[in-house]
Amino acid sequence: MTPNGSSFSRSVMPMNRDDSASHEASTASGEQTAPAAVSGPSVKIRARDINVFYGEKQALFDVAIDIPEKSVTSFIGPSGCGKSTFLRCMNRMNDTIPICRVTGAIEMDGEDVNDRSIDPVVLRARVGMVFQKPNPFPKSIYENVAYGPRIHGLATGKDELDAIVESSLRRAGLWDEVSDRLLQPGTGLSGGQQQRLVIARAIAVGPEVILMDEPCSALDPIATAKIEELIDELREQFCIVIVTHSMAQAARVSQRTAFFHMGRLVESGATDEIFTNPRDSRTQDYITGRFG
Amino acid sequence: MTDLPIPTTTASDRARDIRAAVESRLKTRHASERRFKLYGQLAIAIALSFLVVLLGRIVTQGASTFVVHSISVQVPLDPARIDQTALEGVNYDIMVADAVLAKLGEKDDDYGTKSEAIKDLMSPDFGFQLLNMIKADSSLIGKTVTVSGPLRANADLYFKGEIKRASPEEERTLSNQQLDWLDALKSSGAVKTGFNFGFFTKSDSTEPEQAGVLGAVVGSAMMLLVTAFLAVPIGVMAAVYLEEFAPKNNWTDVIEVNINNLAAVPSIVYGLLGLGLFINTLGVPRSSPLLGGLVLALMALPTVIIATRSSLKAVPPSIREAALGVGASRTQAVFHHVLPLAMPGVMTGSILALAHALGETAPLLMIGMVSFVPGVPHGFDQAATVLPVQVFIWENASERAFHERTAAAIMVLLVFMILMNAVAIIVRRRFERRW
């Protein structure tokens, strides 16, 4: 269950560099502090010096982390610690908040996602997102899944689109439950089914990364278990980043864990190591339930 | 240990005190609850009674419009009385009057006083009917033709009880002899009572018995069409831009405040604007449905914008995030998801704004729509009148028979509005989706 070695960046902030540092410099210095993996999957997302401001208020301070490919990375931390904010940096959802300003570099496969040449629309097709509350479109189950492929032009005909919808629903573990009522509204499903529908919708556009923002916080334990099982299966194809309030969930589903506190990335590393042998006293306090 | 009994007694004492305090207040609390319920019911009762009085008055006043007394007369077309070289100049009304006199078994005197008195009871429309028949077929001269139509308004009012025989002769518009003739015609079965279809198939006229609302209804519909085609798309687009795309800065704040202010501007000001801008500067033909529609569109715009913005605001942000999350552009997110979900609110808001525009009179007074327009407008640039203005014109008319028509026109206007509101409700039910 731990395919990734612990040699990944245990990148503890800060990394005293000015914000105007060039793309090359950031990569170079990133490699200094986070030596390349000896084994296991390569780095999918590399973040350096991420500062996020909501107006005057700074929400994230110099966050630097490497997120490996084809594995699950969980972000834990008390409410308001900035983990969701950081998650939303990765597919530039923060762009939609007018007062939000992001500095620093987030590279996906070596490309800066905040670069002018990167269209957020294309980026969000590559980096899918699942939200806290299941938010299917008030349309049919079929339309929910078909919407993404349709706007991106991924299918040339009805048959192809049908195939994408079916395979997406299958991969989200929902096909058997809904195959006979694809034309019924997606909002009529149960909470857990809705969340899996939303995951199918994200998968349908063929993303490389799936971001999940507390995907189980609105679900009962049985639905949660199904989602966790699904996450474990999806790990083989996608780079998954999950924000969770449940440390048990982080321990169950993720291979790597990052602990955020007061806008700073306190510690990140292999999940079993974080939970059994945290380096920072704050991590220790949090995972033992002393605060948060 | 000695302390032990004391706190227990105080605790139970306190519980008893609390219960007593609560109970002593309970009565007043229930009473005030009943009182407020009563106030509410009273308010509704007062509002309803006003409505009943208003509607009742309109209906009782206007209902008689829908009944009409008409007559058929066989008129011999005497070639000696018809100058074929000047058909327009022939006194057809006298021929009709003579025919009616013959029906009554009376003969005109040498001065023609009786036929003049009969003429006052017959609609001048009979004369026009004869003229048109002869114009169409001159071989009719020498034969006897039948014309039929409503009696003149005064005669109609007598049959409806508005003009009473009991009142002194000099105080009514009809003499005793005229009333006798009317009674005779009625008892002989020549006068027929029927539904006034003419009220819905004719347009304004100087003769009350010939006046109808068709021109005004068509004018209103055309004007509303112009208003809808301008106000709804422009208003919805403006609202979508302001709500979904515009940066939130001082400029958009100023625009927002001004839109809200515009919604509160007295409607006559829009009339002045229309007069200055559309008529004097742009040369839009006055009194036309196009002009009225333009002015009312200006008036309806703020309402449409405000209604659209609030229904856009009511769409949960999770839908926008969902769309953006799968890689939709902002435009796609808005037009594929947000706007369709806001559509019921947009439609209801727009239809209510249009219903409001339908009843608007003041701005139309400023742009020359208060004019006598007989006939149905044939184009958007033709002179037209609209229902509320028709009501205004008839209310000012001196003939008594126009007053019942005023109330009837109001009823038509109300039905028009109820229909529009019903459409708004149906649209809302139909397109409403839950999320």
**Residue B148: what pLDDT?**
85
Q: What pLDDT, in 10s, does the model give residues B212-226?
A: 889 999 999 999 999
Is residue B236 located within the same domain as residue B383? yes
Q: Which of B322, B328, B329 sits opposite A135 (nearest CB)?
A: B322
The more confident residue out of A266 and A14 is A266
> Using CA atoms, how far apart are residues A219 and A176, in angstroms rounded to an integer?
20
Contacts of residue A98 in chain B, CB cutoff 8 Å? 247-248
**Residue B8: what pLDDT?**
59
Is residue B170 located within the same domain as residue B219? no
Is residue B283 located within the same domain as residue B398? yes
The answer to whether residue B45 is domain-embedded is: no
The answer to whether residue B9 is domain-embedded is: no
**In angstroms, what is the C-alpha Rg of chain A?**
19
Q: What is the reported pTM?
A: 0.79
**Residue B68: what pLDDT?**
87
Cβ-based interface (< 8 Å): residues of B facing A: 247-248, 316, 318-330, 332, 336-337, 341, 433-435
Contacts of residue A88 in chain B, CB cutoff 8 Å? none
Question: Is residue A7 over pLDDT 60?
Answer: no
Q: Closest approach of chain B CAs to the CA of A3, in angstroms?
A: 29
Q: Do A202 and B319 touch (CB under 8 A)?
A: no
Is residue B265 located within the same domain as residue B375? yes
> Exposed/middle/buried for B401, CB within 10 Å: 0-12, 13-18, 19+?
buried
Q: Closest approach of chain A CAs to the CA of B233, in angstroms?
A: 24
Q: Do A131 and B326 touch (CB under 8 A)?
A: no
Is residue B281 located within the same domain as residue B332? yes
**Residue B257: what pLDDT?**
92
Q: Closest approach of chain A CAs to the CA of B308, in angstroms?
A: 19
Q: Which of B321, B327, B337 sits opposite A125 (nearest CB)?
A: B327
Is residue B138 located within the same domain as residue B238? no
Which domain, by its residues, includes B262?
214-431
Contacts of residue A125 in chain B, CB cutoff 8 Å? 326-327
Q: Do A138 and B322 touch (CB under 8 A)?
A: no
Please state the φ and ψ torsions of residue B42, each to the nearest 5 degrees. -60, -45
**Residue A15: what pLDDT?**
39
The structure tokens 């390569």 sit at A42
* Arithmetic mean of pLDDT over chain B: 87
CB B367 within 8 Å of CB B274: yes
**Residue B434: what pLDDT?**
53
Is residue B341 located within the same domain as residue B239? yes
Q: For an interface test with B, give the residue of A144, A147, A152 to mutate (most B CBs within 10 A).
A: A147
The structural domains of chain A, ordered by start, are 23-287 (3.40.50.300)
Is residue B319 located within the same domain as residue B414? yes
Distances (CA, A) of B340 to A10, A185, B236, B425: 47, 15, 12, 17
Is residue B222 located within the same domain as residue B187? no
Q: Do B332 and A151 touch (CB under 8 A)?
A: yes
Share above pLDDT 70 across residues of chain A, in percent, rounded to a whole number: 86
pLDDT category at B186 given cuts 50, 70, 90 is confident
| Residue of chain A with shortest Cα separation from B432 | A138
Q: For an interface test with A, give the residue of B244, B252, B324, B326 to mutate (most A CBs within 10 A).
A: B326
Does A129 touch chain B if contact means CB atoms closer than 8 Å? yes
The answer to whether residue B5 is domain-embedded is: no
The answer to whether residue B14 is domain-embedded is: no
Q: Do B326 and A98 touch (CB under 8 A)?
A: no
pLDDT category at B6 given cuts 50, 70, 90 is low
Q: What pLDDT, in 10s, does the model give residues A110-141?
A: 888 888 888 888 899 899 999 988 999 998 99
Q: What pLDDT, in 10s, does the model give residues A248-265?
A: 899 999 999 999 999 999
Contacts of residue B341 in chain A, CB cutoff 8 Å? 138
Domain boundary among B170, B196, B222: B196
**Residue B3: what pLDDT?**
53
Please state the domain count of chain B: 2
Q: What pLDDT, in 10s, does the model give residues B312-369?
A: 999 998 999 999 988 898 899 999 999 999 988 898 899 989 998 998 888 888 888 8
Domain boundary among B135, B163, B196: B196
Q: What pLDDT, in 10s, does the model give residues A160-216?
A: 999 999 999 998 889 999 999 999 998 889 988 999 999 999 999 989 999 999 999
Domain boundary among B196, B222, B244: B196
The more confident residue out of B34 and B123 is B34
Q: Do A137 and B433 touch (CB under 8 A)?
A: no
User: Max alpha carbon distance in chain B (Å)?
Assistant: 135
Is residue B246 located within the same domain as residue B116? no
Q: What pLDDT, in 10s, does the model give residues B289-298?
A: 999 999 999 9
Q: What pLDDT, in 10s, does the model give residues A24-64?
A: 333 433 333 443 343 456 888 999 999 999 988 999 999 99
| ipTM, two decimals | 0.79
CB A43 within 8 Å of CB A100: no
Distances (CA, A) of A255 to A6, A74, A147, A234, B238: 10, 8, 32, 13, 49
Q: What pLDDT, in 10s, does the model give residues B392-425?
A: 989 888 888 888 899 999 999 999 999 988 988 8
Query: For residue B432, what are the contacts with CB-CB under 8 A and spacing of at least 6?
Result: B344
pLDDT category at B188 given cuts 50, 70, 90 is confident
**Residue A3: what pLDDT?**
43
CB A29 within 8 Å of CB A15: yes
> Using CA atoms, how far apart are residues B363 and B160, in angstroms rounded to an integer?
36
Q: What pLDDT, in 10s, does the model give residues A267-290?
A: 999 999 999 988 888 988 888 887
Query: For residue B264, what are the contacts with CB-CB under 8 A and spacing of at least 6?
Result: none
